[in-house]
Amino acid sequence: MKRPLFLMVSSLCLVSAPLYAETHTVKKVIDGDTIILDNGKKVRLLGTNTPELAKNGKPPEALSQQATEFTRQQIEGKEIRLEFDESKAADHNRDTKGRLLAYVWYKEKTSNDPADQEKMLNKELIQKGYASALTKHPFKYSEEFKQRESEAQKKKKGIWEKESKFSS
């Protein structure tokens, strides 16, 4: 009897353990919330939605160029760390289009601190008003994303400056 109980407890520990992270270089920024890695895989920033660039004959949405350029300036050609969320583990951390879903961490040198400071791009996009928070389904940072979105709305940053499809 002890052995099956041990196996069951061991299995539970494995399920609740934090998921791994990967380090890659960003080969290309597709748009504000989608990138291609050095290994060719596409990554969609989890919990964010930036305005869409022109696609399939549709005009670009407001601030889509700015959101894309911000993402490009922060991470294109640079090393990043992908953090995966336990809430997406059942889907192998992929969306319906097969893209990896992840939090993207990058290092930024600050003028005040000679050391590198790690930042999460997902949060930065929301905080600066370049993205809305996608929080329909809970995930690790959903409450923080909601809070940052609320702050951006109050300050009328980016997509929240004027009425848009992102406005409530």
Q: What is the pLDDT of residue 11?
A: 39
Each residue's pLDDT tens digit, 9-43: 433 343 434 456 899 999 999 999 999 999 999 99
Each residue's pLDDT tens digit, 99-117: 999 999 999 866 566 556 8
Evaluate whether 153 touches 160 at the Cβ level (below 8 Å). yes
Phi and psi, residue 165, nearest 5°? -65, -20
- The pTM (predicted TM-score) of the whole model is 0.81
Each residue's pLDDT tens digit, 42-90: 999 999 999 999 999 999 999 999 999 999 999 999 999 999 998 888 7
State how far the Cα of 134 lies from the Cα of 159, in Å rounded to an integer: 14
Q: What is the pLDDT of residue 21?
A: 81
pLDDT > 70: what percent of the chain? 80
- Six-digit token string for 158: 């980016």
State how far the Cα of 163 lies from the Cα of 116, in Å rounded to an integer: 37
State how far the Cα of 119 lies from the Cα of 96, in Å rounded to an integer: 27
Say which amino acid occupies 165. Answer: K
- Six-digit token string for 109: 């040198």
Average pLDDT, the chain: 85
Q: What is the pLDDT of residue 4?
A: 45
* Catalytic residue IDs: 44, 52, 99
Q: What is the pLDDT of residue 113?
A: 62
State how far the Cα of 103 lies from the Cα of 85, in Å rounded to an integer: 8
